[in-house]
Structure 1
Amino acid sequence: MMHGGAVKQVKHLRVWIFECRDPSFQAFKLGLAAAVLLGLAHVIGNLLGGCVCIWTREDFERASANKQLAVASLIFAWIVLAVGFSMLIIGTLSNSKSRKTCGISHHRLFSIGGILCFIHGLFTVAYYVSATAAAREDGTNRPRSTA
């Protein structure tokens, strides 16, 4: 017996790695929101952290520990962004279809994509902290006094 507004249940059949299910519009909306927020977090983190430029391996070896950490964190943040964003988009697109879909199981993509969002956040925070510390070491982040 249903009370009030009926909620459509997602029909789901799974055999080994293949599954057939009806798409969920709620999952589509949440996946799209997660992908947009992941991209926004990446842009904001990069804008706040500024540019930590290292062009050669020798520059990297001569750089301070903070600058090296900033570069490593930035590289890992970009890698995690690419993988996490891809997983969220694939999971979102699998829920955007108006017809019943059958194919290889994608049921873990949202879970793994969500976990990667948090890992991306950790690398982005590490980038911001180390980039601002490196800028302070270089003296580029200090306000200049005119007096």
Structure 2
Amino acid sequence: MAKNYGILVCLLIIALDVVAGILGIEAEMAQNKVRHLKMWIFECRDPSYQAFKLGLAAILFLPLAHIIANLLGGCTCMWSKEDFVKASATRKLAVASLFFSWIILAIGFTMLIIGTMANSKSRKSCGLSYHHILSIGGILCFIHGIFAVAYYVSATASARDHSRHRTPATSQA
């Protein structure tokens, strides 16, 4: 039973990313309920405290899912071209999933921060409109969940395969 916690970790990562995504989309909907005046590409909008709270919660859940996937997935690094050539398919999948999860985290996290800060109480301003920033950040949370789970599964499978294929002579070195 102690070794079969992988499905629970996957469900936790997916749940955190889904909650972050839903909160981001809900923040966008709360932001759209606020009174605003639009003229061409410029827009004057009152901040939405509800959108700010929802966006802030999404900002907290997204990196939490990423941290859990990375800490429990372990380190899957390749330092040279030789490492890449020698690596198994699961290890290559782990590295690719890790790379894409970091990219999606950076973009989604940035979009959630921009959308949330636009709804800060001190930000009643006019300027370029930021439409759909929070909802796109929320959608990226869903995509992040897919890559984070793919990383966790492939990294743990790669580590398990690596430990099975080690011989007693290599484990002493």
Q: Into which bin does the TM-score normalised by the smaller protein fall? A: 0.7 to 0.9
The structure where helix makes up a greater share of residues is 2
1:138 counterpart (152, 158, 162): 162
1:33-72 aligned at under 5 Å gives the runs 33-72=57-96
1:109 matched to 2:133? yes
Measured in 2, the distance between the counterparts of 1:81 and 1:99 equals 25
State the partner residue of 2:35: 11
- Structure of higher CA gyration radius: 1
Q: Paired residue for 2:121?
A: 97
Q: Out of 152, 155, 160, which is 1:128 matched to?
A: 152
Which residue in the other structure is 2:55 paired with?
31
Superposed CA RMSD in Å reads 1.3
TM-score normalized by the length of structure 1: 0.85
Unpaired segments of 5 or more residues in structure 2?
A: 1-32, 165-173
How many percent identity over aligned positions? Answer: 70
Using the alignment, how far apart are the partners of 2:123 and 2:87 within structure 1? 55
* CA–CA separation in structure 1 for the residues paired with 2:130 and 2:136: 10
> Normalised by the size of structure 2, how large is the TM-score?
0.73
Which letter maps to 1:28?
F
C-alpha separation between the residues in 1 aligned to 2:131 and 2:123?
Answer: 17
- Post-superposition Cα deviations, 1:33-82, rounded to whole Å, max 9, x if no partner, equal 00110010110010110111211122112100000000000000000000
Which residue matches 1:5?
none
Distance 1:15 1:95 in 2: 19
Query: What does 1:66-81 correspond to in 2, within 5 Å?
Result: 66-81=90-105
Amino acid at match of 1:124: A
Q: From the superposition, tell whether residues 99 and 89 of structure 1 become closer, same or farther in structure 2 (CA, over 3 Å).
A: closer
Q: What letter matches 1:72 in structure 2?
A: A
Structure 1, unpaired ranges of 5+: 1-8, 141-147
For 2:106, the equivalent position in structure 1 comes to 82
Tell me how far apart the structure 2 counterparts of residues 99 and 77 of structure 1 sit (CA, whole Å): 31
